[in-house]
Amino acid sequence: MTASAPAYPSPNHGERRGGLRPSLVVIHYTAMESCAAARERLCDPAAEVSAHWLISETGQVEALVPETARAWHAGAGQWAGRGDVNSRSIGIELANRGTHPFPEPQMAALEQLLRDILARWQIRPAGVIGHSDMAPGRKSDPGPRFDWQRLARQGLAIWPDAVPDLGPGAPLPGLAFRDLAGQAGYDPDLPEDLLLQAFRLRFRPWASGPVDATDLCLVAQVARLTVDGGGPGV
């Protein structure tokens, strides 16, 4: 992987706390007008934000913070019952305003970067999550247009098997959405509407209404995949 510009130009990082190693990868979008504007902010000491990697719309990959360091990208939230996600993760920012699809060159570059990161740190596919997964209600990136299925087909994330749309009138399985979401890594102490919103944003982005049978079938599969994959990291 070749990084453009000077390697590691962002001063916004510190040591990983408690001797933690990366066990998660958190994917973001920049929500800014250009990659250059995002880079400027991620490297501005006054902004106090950063990420390990930035990928432009054309697939240019830039190293902003060493992977061994704690970048400031995740903020408040948790995954799999553990906080301080910054100390447990590698953050990847994709130059995208959040309102349009992610271009092919950018996705191809992300895939190669993920292959390298997962191999380098022995991170399982279940450990690749979105910012919205660990911060429901606070963050929505990488958003409904991000192609998680594409990553899963290459073993770079997880995705449930196809489930028929059972519709709002279908009987609910005897399972609790909150419990299954917690097994999948989400914070089960959050209000159920936030859990459902975060889960659907990733796995069923165009659905609406209360929890239905399709949601329960999907979240049960995701929980199983998480367990079978060794969990989303420790």
Q: Which residue has the tokens 């609790």?
A: 176
Q: Catalytic site residue 93?
A: yes
Query: Can you spell out the DSSP letters for 128-178?
Result: EEEHHHHSTTT--TT-TTS-HHHHHHTTSS--PPP-----TTSPPPS--HH
Distance between the two ends of the chain, CA-based, in angstroms? 26
In sequence order, which residues have a C-beta less than 8 Å from that of residue 36 and are 6 or more positions away?
A: none
Which of 33, 48, 57, 93 is an active site residue?
Answer: 93
> In this structure, how many other beta carbons lie within 10 angstroms of the beta carbon of residue 115?
14
**Two tokens at 40?**
């400027």
Number of Cβ within 10 Å of residue 205's Cβ equals 12
Positions marked catalytic: 93
